[in-house]
Amino acid sequence: MSAKTILEVRNLKKYFPIQKGVFRRVVGHVKAVDGLDFVIREGECVGLVGESGCGKTTAGRSIIRLLDPTEGEVLFRPGEQEVDMAKLGKDGLKRIRQEMQFIFQDPFASLNPRMTVGRIVSEPLKIQGIGTQKERMSRAGALLEKVGLSASQMGRFPHEFSGGQRQRIGIARSLSLNPRFVICDEPVSALDVSVQAQVLNVLKDLQQDFSLTYLFVAHDLSVVEHISDRIFVMYLGKIVEIADSQELYESPRHPYTEALLKAIPIADPKLGRRREALEGSVPDPSNPPDGCNFHTRCRYATDLCRSEEPVLQGQQGNPEHQASCHYQNELQLAGYMARGAG
Ligand code: SF4
């Protein structure tokens, strides 16, 4: 894997104002994303994982500027140059979309039902003024073949395809401009379990063929297990753990990661499929708890956790594995592998 950093996010925040009354006075903020710092290296796939409402989709959308960040820097380095995505104007964003693309969660809502598949996949080329009509259609056909569909299906409409096929069309569209970096926003969560693995395999193959870097957003650690090189775990607008994928599954350092791992169903020959559901729900992001924001659900919480916020930091002797827990060096947390064996 190349060590070159393709994306560096510094103190990224996205707050949504809460307005009340006739004059729509701002009475507070929903802190959906509250100070993210991380780097993504060229060619890797990073899984961004957390429950619904933890801010992961908002983070992805703020990075690519489908949402305007409240604060922070998003330094994108697709080539020799560096751009701060957070500060780009309309023209700059249009240019940078050639390098950074987004795959939407819902393959039903994200495709224009009145456009043929050929037009949908070639549309980004048209918007950027690239190629002739014939060249654009030729590229669309080649991309459809790449995602496991057929160029002969270009004249059909989205409703003639299954959910999995529609997501393949969405993937083909996201690759039409030959981007370097793709944000995949829960691309398989709306699909049947039987189809999920097929689409994940397509994404994995395309990453190799097109030398892509992925930020892969998911609410479930089981989905990202086989596709991610590293995983960022997010809770209540903040990253609480960063680790190499295998290491995270084997030896998590944050109790929230441990709880997410316990929620993955495992096949047990005696008991069938078993899993431990996460207790409680994500607190209100407009009024996060004091101290460690996970303390209201953490089985290891102490008085220190309720009063002092832990910092995301590397482990002793392993700076790449970071967690924001006061007790990350003392707790012996159960990994997924240990559960499977136990
Ligand atoms: Fe749990 Fe305390 Fe660690 Fe937070 S700091 S995760 S409450 S043990």
pTM over 0.85: yes
Nearest 5 degrees, angle CA 197-CA 199-CA 200?
60
Q: How far does residue 250's CA lie from ligand 1's centre (Å)?
A: 19
User: Would you say the CB of residue 292 lies under 6 angstroms from ligand 1?
Assistant: yes
User: Would you say the CB of residue 157 lies under 6 angstroms from ligand 1?
Assistant: no
DSSP 50-75: --TTSSHHHHHHHHTTSS--SEEEEE
Residue 142 lies inside a defined structural domain of this protein: no
User: Would you say the CB of residue 16 lies under 6 angstroms from ligand 1?
Assistant: no
**What digits encode the pLDDT tens for the residues 182-208?**
999 999 988 888 899 999 999 999 999
The number of domains in the chain is: 1
Residue 160 lies inside a defined structural domain of this protein: no
Q: How far does residue 257's CA lie from ligand 1's centre (Å)?
A: 11
Whole-angstrom distance, CA of residue 312 vs CA of residue 310? 7
- The protein residue with its alpha carbon nearest to ligand 1, atom 5, reads 325
Ligand 1 atom at minimum distance from 331 CA: 8
* pLDDT for 217: 96
Residue 121 lies inside a defined structural domain of this protein: no
- Does residue 87 surpass a pLDDT of 70? yes
Residue 162 lies inside a defined structural domain of this protein: no
Q: How far does residue 249's CA lie from ligand 1's centre (Å)?
A: 19
User: Would you say the CB of residue 300 lies under 6 angstroms from ligand 1?
Assistant: yes
Nearest 5 degrees, angle CA 55-CA 120-CA 77?
50
Strands 100-103 and 83-84: unpaired
Ligand 1 atom at minimum distance from 255 CA: 6
- Does residue 274 surpass a pLDDT of 80? no
Ligand 1 atom at minimum distance from 304 CA: 2
Could you tell which of 234, 256, 278, 305 is best to mutate to test the pocket of ligand 1, judged by most ligand atoms within 8 Å of the CB?
A: 305
| Per-residue pLDDT band at 265 (split at 50, 70, 90) | confident
Residue 43 lies inside a defined structural domain of this protein: yes
- Beta carbons of 252 and 83 less than 8 angstroms apart: no
* pLDDT for 264: 86
Which CATH number covers residue 248? 3.40.50.300
- The protein residue with its alpha carbon nearest to ligand 1, atom 3, reads 325
User: Would you say the CB of residue 60 lies under 6 angstroms from ligand 1?
Assistant: no
User: Would you say the CB of residue 305 lies under 6 angstroms from ligand 1?
Assistant: yes
- State which H helix or E strand residue 43 sits in: none
More confident residue, 62 or 279: 62
* pLDDT for 259: 94
Helices and strands per DSSP (H, E), number in the chain: 11, 14
Using the CB atoms, write b or e for 34-51: b if 16+ within 10 Å. bebbbebbbbbbbbbbbb
Q: How far does residue 91's CA lie from ligand 1's centre (Å)?
A: 44
* pLDDT for 5: 95
User: Would you say the CB of residue 310 lies under 6 angstroms from ligand 1?
Assistant: yes
Question: By three-state DSSP, how is residue 208 classified?
Answer: helix
Residue 167 lies inside a defined structural domain of this protein: no
Question: By three-state DSSP, how is residue 235 classified?
Answer: strand
Q: Give the phi and the psi of residue 13 in degrees, each rounded to 5.
A: -130, 140
Whole-angstrom distance, CA of residue 186 vs CA of residue 201? 15
Ligand 1 atom at minimum distance from 299 CA: 1
Residue 108 lies inside a defined structural domain of this protein: no
Ligand 1 atom at minimum distance from 328 CA: 3
Ligand 1 atom at minimum distance from 240 CA: 6
- Does residue 260 surpass a pLDDT of 90? yes
- Domain span holding position 89: 5-99+179-340
Whole-angstrom distance, CA of residue 134 vs CA of residue 136? 5
Residue 69 lies inside a defined structural domain of this protein: yes
| Per-residue pLDDT band at 341 (split at 50, 70, 90) | very low
User: Would you say the CB of residue 291 lies under 6 angstroms from ligand 1?
Assistant: no
